[in-house]
């Protein structure tokens, strides 16, 4: 017992300290949302609100049509994620398992898109979206986000590790190409699909600049657009901003608890480019 404590004790302690360090700003943020505006800056600073209030939440809830924004953001995030995973898996599979010279060239072209920051291609993307008639439509923020080089690359690298013999065996057994993909290869790539889905969902949920450019009608606003309108020219209504931000976090937190197992198991690919 003592040996166990001696060997694991310091590491556990260190991890707990890290947990507390990570928890501190989040806890302060959430507790501050229950403070009245007059308490946010008063000295000495306190963690716990002196007078608990929900006034920020009430104002935020009344000012913003959260149901609409959650729906818009959710629709965009879900549709984009489904399409992204589907398209990335098929593309990645083709690039890994079919042999043709032009496929390699095509792959390099896809990889090359990661060289350009999103902001750089934004004006041209905007013109394309406008000419396609997708301006001011949710489709205008879904379509350009479907193809991601990161997703394609993830799937390609994964399918490369799957032995070709498996595929050949299936073909010999008379399995068609489409069935081979859906029944054999895609199930194998489940961890990648889940990882990509999680990242894609987060990217789309938190996306700000592109929806800002494309959406004009407040009824189609995503959550992030609505939240930022709280930041005024010279003033910020902190208590409303804090409360609205907490509300906006709730769906992500719920999703995290639902998919906790998958998220924790997913390969840590943070720092990837969307």
Partner 1 sequence: MNPVLGRRQLMLGGIAGTAAVGLGLSACSDGAGSGGEGGEVTHMQFFLSGDANQGGGYAHMAAKYQEETGIEVEIVDVANEDLTTKLKNAALANDLPALARVGSIDATWKDVTMDLRDILDTNDVKSELAAIDPDGKVLSLPSDITAVGMFLNKTLFDAAGATYPAVGEEPWTWDEFTETIRSVQAATGASYGMVMDRSAHRLKAFLYEFGSNTFELVDGAFETNENTKPALEYFYGLNDDSFMPRSVWLSDGDPNGLFKSGDVVAYCSGSWQIADFAVNIADFEWVSVYMPKQPVRVTNYGNAASIVVFEGTGQEQAALDFVNWLYTPENYTELSETSGFLPAVNGITVTYADNAEAFELYNEEIEASDEVAARLKTQDLEGEIEGRTIEGDPLRDETVKYLNDEQDVDTTIANIIELLNASL
Q: What residues have CB less than 8 Å from 143, skipping those under 6 apart?
A: 129, 132, 134
Q: How far apart are CA 264 and CA 189, in angstroms?
A: 17
Q: Segment contacting partner 1 (CB under 8 A): 1-9, 91-99, 167-175, 186-194?
A: 186-194
Closest approach of Cβ 152 to partner 1, in Å?
A: 18
Compose the 70-109 pattern: x for residues touching partner 1 by CB under 8 A, - for all others: -----x---x--xx--x-----------------------
Q: How far apart are CA 95 and CA 160, in angstroms?
A: 9
Should residue 42 be labelled a site residue for partner 1 when binding is judged by CB under 8 A? yes
Q: How far apart are CA 238 and CA 261, in angstroms?
A: 35
Q: Which of 103, 147, 184, 263 binds partner 1 (CB under 8 A)?
A: 184
Do residues 248 and 227 lie in contact, with contact meaning Cβ atoms separated by under 8 Å? yes
What is the residue-wise DSSP string for 32-70?
Answer: HTTS-GGGSSPSSP-SS-SS---HHHHHHHHHS-HHHHH
Should residue 212 be labelled a site residue for partner 1 when binding is judged by CB under 8 A? yes
Q: Which of 126, 251, 255, 263 binds partner 1 (CB under 8 A)?
A: 126
Q: Which of 96, 170, 193, 247 binds partner 1 (CB under 8 A)?
A: 193
Q: How far apart are the first and last CA of the chain?
A: 47
Chain contacts with partner 1 (rule: CB under 8 A): 36-43, 63, 75, 79, 82-83, 86, 126-127, 130, 133-139, 142-143, 179, 182-184, 186-187, 190, 193, 212-214, 216-220, 228-235, 237-239
């Amino acid at each position: 017992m003592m040996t166990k404590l001696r060997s694991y004790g310091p590491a556990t302690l260190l991890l707990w300290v890290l947990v507390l360090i990570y928890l501190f700003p989040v806890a302060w943020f959430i507790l501050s949302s229950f403070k009245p505006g007059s308490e946010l800056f008063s000295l000495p600073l306190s963690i716990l609100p002196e007078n608990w209030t929900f006034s920020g939440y009430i104002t935020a809830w009344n000012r913003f049509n959260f149901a609409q924004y959650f729906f818009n953001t959710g629709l965009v995030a879900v549709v984009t994620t489904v399409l992204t995973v589907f398209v990335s898996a098929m593309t990645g599979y083709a690039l890994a398992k079919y042999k043709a010279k032009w496929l390699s060239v095509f792959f390099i072209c896809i990889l090359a898109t990661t060289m350009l920051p999103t902001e750089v291609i934004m004006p041209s993307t905007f013109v394309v979206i406008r000419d396609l008639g997708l301006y001011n439509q949710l489709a205008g923020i879904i379509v350009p986000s479907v193809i991601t080089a990161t997703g394609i690359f993830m799937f390609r690298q994964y399918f490369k590790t799957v032995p070709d013999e498996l595929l050949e065996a299936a073909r010999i057994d008379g399995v068609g190409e489409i069935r081979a993909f859906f029944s054999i290869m895609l199930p194998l790539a489940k961890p990648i699909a889940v990882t990509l889905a999680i990242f894609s969902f987060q990217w789309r949920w938190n996306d700000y600049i592109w929806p800002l450019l494309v959406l004009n009608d407040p009824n189609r606003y995503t959550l992030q657009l609505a939240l930022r309108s709280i930041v005024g020219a010279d003033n910020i209504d902190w208590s409303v901003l804090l409360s609205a931000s907490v509300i906006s976090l709730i769906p992500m937190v719920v999703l995290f608890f639902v998919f906790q197992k998958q998220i924790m198991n997913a390969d840590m690919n943070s720092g990837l480019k969307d």
